[in-house]
């Protein structure tokens, strides 16, 4: 089973130790932040804002039926990664709730940042 890593923020098999955990040199500011109380509080606030469901699932299923929402295996994703812009780590407009599948796609760049930003605050 895949799981969001508390150390690096990426998706790993749950039985694999994160490579960043093995190395002391990877004890970055971003990795320390992921274990902080401020991140845990913000993560809960963002999940509540997004009604504890994957925002992307809600978007792609909106035209089909309003009953196809994903509440399982959700996590909060940094649209602009912490390593890229540490100052945006707690910005509401940089955080979105995604299911595991869409989180992996966002991490891989298969869902563009602009699409994710537009889902939080639709243009118009």
pLDDT by 10s per residue, the chain, length 124? 777 777 777 777 777 777 666 554 456 788 889 889 999 999 999 999 999 999 999 887 655 445 566 778 899 999 999 989 999 999 999 999 999 999 999 999 999 999 999 999 887 7
What distance in Å separates the CA atoms of residue 45 and residue 98, rounded to the nearest whole number?
Answer: 14
Q: What is the pTM of this model?
A: 0.73
Q: Which domain holds residue 76?
A: 2-120
Q: Where are the alpha helices (DSSP H) in the chain?
A: 19-22, 29-33, 37-49, 55-61, 100-107, 113-120
Q: Domain total for the chain? A: 1
């Amino acid at each position: 089973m895949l799981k969001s890593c508390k150390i690096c923020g990426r998706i790993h098999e749950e039985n694999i130790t994160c490579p960043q955990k093995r190395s002391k040199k990877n004890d970055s500011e971003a990795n320390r932040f992921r274990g902080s109380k401020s991140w845990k509080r913000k993560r809960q606030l963002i999940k509540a804002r997004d009604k504890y469901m994957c925002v992307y699932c809600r978007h792609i299923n909106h035209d089909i039926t309003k009953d196809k929402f994903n509440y399982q295996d959700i996590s909060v994703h940094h649209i602009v990664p912490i390593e890229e812009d540490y100052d945006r780590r707690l910005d509401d407009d940089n955080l979105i709730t995604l299911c595991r599948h869409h989180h992996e796609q966002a991490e891989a760049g298969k869902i563009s940042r602009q699409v994710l930003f537009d889902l939080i605050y639709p243009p118009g």
